[in-house]
Amino acid sequence: MTQPKIKDIKVIFTEPDNIRLVAVKLITDQDGLYGVGCATFTQRPLPVANAIKEYLRPFLIGRKVTDIEDIWQSCYVSSYWRNGPVLNNALSGIDQALWDIKGKMANMPVYDLLGGKSREVAAVYVHASGETTEEVGDKMQAFMEQGFHHIRVQTSTPGYSTYGNKTAKSGIDTKSNRDVSKGPLPITSWIRDYDEDKIYAHPGGIFEPKPYLRSALNLFEYIRDRFGYGVEILHDVHERIPPILGVWFAKEVEKYQLFFLEDLFCPEDNEYFRMVRAQCATPLAMGELYSSPHEIIPMIKDRLIDFIRIHISDMGGITPCRKIAAMGELFTNVLDISLLYPENRRHPMMAMLSGQMTKIIIDVKVTPVPELQQSSSRSEAEFRSYFQHWLNTLWQEKDTRINTLLER
């Protein structure tokens, strides 16, 4: 069977709900066989489109669509300077389209090509934001009644600009906004309807870290008082506070047991994650600000974050992201390997050296490591006991499994 080749690559702009998206359509030389991918770089769509049209398209015409890994590697290094968001977004669209084609050729969904489903369902979160803590709480209540268990929360900071809260009003004369003595009237980066009869401290609004941090802590306190700890809450800092305040904030929110705290620092300040790790056990999420697979490697290797939140369209596509996911697995699981010699139990090494080894059983098990970070709810002695119990249980299960294998 002749392998299909790349005949043409088209870039498609679309903007649903005012969100600028860049789609890639990769057309093969076989009738009706094509793939689509996402190359969205919302803030800079035109350079991405140009990179695809002027550089990747002529570079890839005539290549076999099945050579996904080779295409990715050659595109990645062909520009000499690499790892920028423009090239990696462009490459993401190409890579996803190639995987789409391979799935169609195999008549399988792409996740089956990558090893199949690892779970039947996955937890998702929704976003609850509001002008006041009570409004956020009411929205949380509604989401919980719909069955949601993970909710990301954000509230306005009275008197200041608010980021991440699309419901925040702009210059509206409400009870929470009326007292301008506490700071500038609230303006958001989302809404720019100004009242001409009012004087604003800054036409674009002012964001102040400390008032924001206080309002966030008040929100977490309110949520735990109202709902307890049976619901998971998430929060995104949007890397908009000084790093040293980020360290302080991570310590302060530990008692509220967030599911994760997201984008605490910008990528230029990754070393501050080490300070947080040394002082508290607040789960940390990071990744959507990265544009290169190599930026995330030290964060995983040094266990500086707990959740990898990356956009496939930023990282270069499915090809690099599945490698990142595999690396993350290695740092959250124990690879338990047992070598058994059922017919040479007494002197297996001598049997191996003399060529008399007749049978070898290799048993491999991937075991998740549960909560190795000390939780704030446990004392040091309780944590040591908890960890030792987990380790003892692991060895007991291993002994049982070995005995079962040897008896076969």
Annotation marks residue 235 as catalytic: no
Instruction: Tell me the CB-side half-sphere exposure of residue 202, using CA atoms within 13 A.
Output: 14
Q: Which of 266, 209, 267, 263 is nearest to 235 (CA)?
A: 263
Q: How far apart are CA 286 and CA 277, in angstroms?
A: 14
Instruction: Please pick, among 34, 163, 256, 341, the residue that the annotation labels catalytic.
Output: 163
Which residues are within 8 A (CB) of 72 and not within 5 positions of it... i.e. 6 or more apart?
Answer: 91, 95, 316, 317, 319, 320
DSSP code per residue over 51-118: HIIIIIHHHHTT-BTT-HHHHHHHHHHHTSS---HHHHHHHHHHHHHHHHHHHHHHTS-HHHHTT--S
List residues bridging with 334 in a β-sheet.
367
Q: First CA to last CA across the chain, in angstroms?
A: 45
Q: CB atoms < 10 A from the CB of 164, how many? A: 21
Whether 80 is a known active-site residue: answer: no
Task: Please give the structure tokens belonging to residue 316.
Answer: 């270069």
Of 127, 149, 150, 238, catalytic? 238
CA-to-CA distance for 42 and 292, rounded, in angstroms? 17
Q: Which two tokens mark 229? A: 């700890």
Assess contact for 394 and 338: CB atoms under 8 A: no
Q: What angle do CA 115, 120, 121 make, to 5 degrees?
A: 120
Q: Cβ(236)–Cβ(262) under 8 Å? A: yes
Distance, in Å, from the CA atom of 279 to the CA atom of 262, rounded to the nearest integer, reads 17
For residues 2 and 232, give the distance between their C-alpha atoms in angstroms, rounded to a whole number. Answer: 52
What are the residue numbers of the active site? 163, 238
